[in-house]
Amino acid sequence: MRKRIVLYLAAFLLCACTKVTGYSEDRLVERLRETEKEPVMQANYAKDLYSYYLQPCIGRRSADRVSTVFVMNGDTFVLTLNAAQLINDRYYEGTAAAPAHPAEELKISEIGGDWGTEEAPAPYSVSIYRIGETYYAWLEGGYVVLFGSSNAVGIVPMAQEMLRIARTVVVDRQAVTAAFSRKETITYHAKKVELFTNIAPENGEISELFSDHYSAGNTGRNEGDEYSGSGRIETDDDPVQPAEDPVQPAEDPGQ
């Protein structure tokens, strides 16, 4: 009996002393694939533009309208809403507004995945960068970007937690559009307007050619209009004037 207890204790000590000593891309891929299959938790934090779920073991250091700073095991990472991409997708189809990435030569891993379904795919990507002994994780998915730094051991669980949070983010697209875009949809309606009436001017006035010159039930000038001859069309031909002295018939010589 004592031998069994000693063996169990030795096995426990060996497991407890097991330590990950460096960054492993295979371990990161394994963690991400596991997280993709996890059930999506309902949001427990709500902001004006988006909401998300956060595990109790993750702390929140600060937040503003579009970003939130988290703390995990003493390390910091940030969630930022990619409002520019949402505006582009809504108004400028086919364009991209991805945030600037760190220097490409510092990248040591790039892993893609999809946390959605066949009916509603949700692709994402995780990139790992290294500067000296510091590792950086960069995740893009949906309309959010997460970025954080840790050491060789902590960067893998941090990237996993980033993915776990990103999957739960629900963006209020209408609120984002109202907050960051002044563009409005303009709808044009065709309307036929009859500017001129195809009739001959009665009084020689140009205004009589317009359709609103005649009111309903009135074929002459609009009520209240006083005609003045200033608008009459004149011609060079003078009208024939009657003779002043009409021709008298000749007297009958037989009278």
Residue 7 lies in a domain: no
pLDDT(136) > 80: yes
Pair (175, 202) in one structural domain? no
pLDDT at 18: 39
- Say which CATH number the domain at 59 has: 3.40.1000
87, 180 Cβ separation under 8 angstroms? yes
pLDDT tens string 108-132: 999 999 988 888 888 999 999 999 9
Contact 166, 78 (CB under 8 A): no
Judge whether 67 lies within some domain. yes
239 domain residue, yes or no: no
Residues 120 and 59 in one domain: yes
Q: What is the C-alpha separation between 144 and 79, in angstroms, rounded? A: 7
Query: Does a structural domain hold residue 80?
Result: yes
Share the mean pLDDT of the chain: 76
Average confidence (pLDDT) over 136-146: 94
Same domain for 48 and 170, yes or no, is yes
Total domains present in the chain: 2
- Do 48 and 171 lie in a common domain? yes
Distances (CA, A) of 200 to 18, 94, 136: 105, 57, 84
* Tens digits of residue pLDDT in 155-174: 999 999 999 999 999 999 99
Tokens of 137: 């994780």
Instruction: Give me the long-range contacts of 86-95 (CB less than 8 A, separation at least 24).
Output: 86/143, 86/171, 86/173, 86/176, 86/177, 87/176, 87/177, 87/180, 87/181, 90/173, 90/177, 90/181, 91/181, 91/183
Residue 251 has pLDDT above 70, yes or no: no
Please tell me the distance from the alpha carbon of residue 232 to that of residue 200, in angstroms, as a whole number. 13
State the residue range of the domain holding 204.
Answer: 188-223
Residue 244 lies in a domain: no
Looking at the fold, whether 117 and 202 belong to one and the same domain comes out as no
* Number of neighbouring beta carbons within 10 Å of residue 67: 14
To the nearest 5 percent, what fractions of the chain are helix, strand and coil?
25, 25, 50
- Stated as kind and residue range, the H or E segment containing 174 is helix 173-180
Give pLDDT tens digits for 16-58: 443 556 899 999 999 999 999 999 999 999 999 999 999 999 9
Identity of the amino acid at 84: A
> In terms of domains, do 33 and 156 share one?
yes
* 40, 80, 87, 98, 212 from 51: Cα distances, Å: 13, 12, 18, 21, 58
Using CA atoms in the order 195, 200, 201, 203, what is the torsion angle rounded to 10 degrees?
A: -160
**Higher per-residue pLDDT: 227 or 240:** 240
194 and 170 in a common domain: no
When pLDDT is cut at 50, 70 and 90, the band that residue 134 belongs to is: very high
| 5 in any annotated domain | no
Is there a single domain that holds both residue 75 and residue 120?
Answer: yes
Residue 185, CA atoms < 13 Å, CB-side half-sphere: 6
- Classify residue 229: in a domain, yes or no: no
Instruction: Indicate if 164 and 197 belong to the same structural domain.
Output: no
Structural domain includes residue 1: no
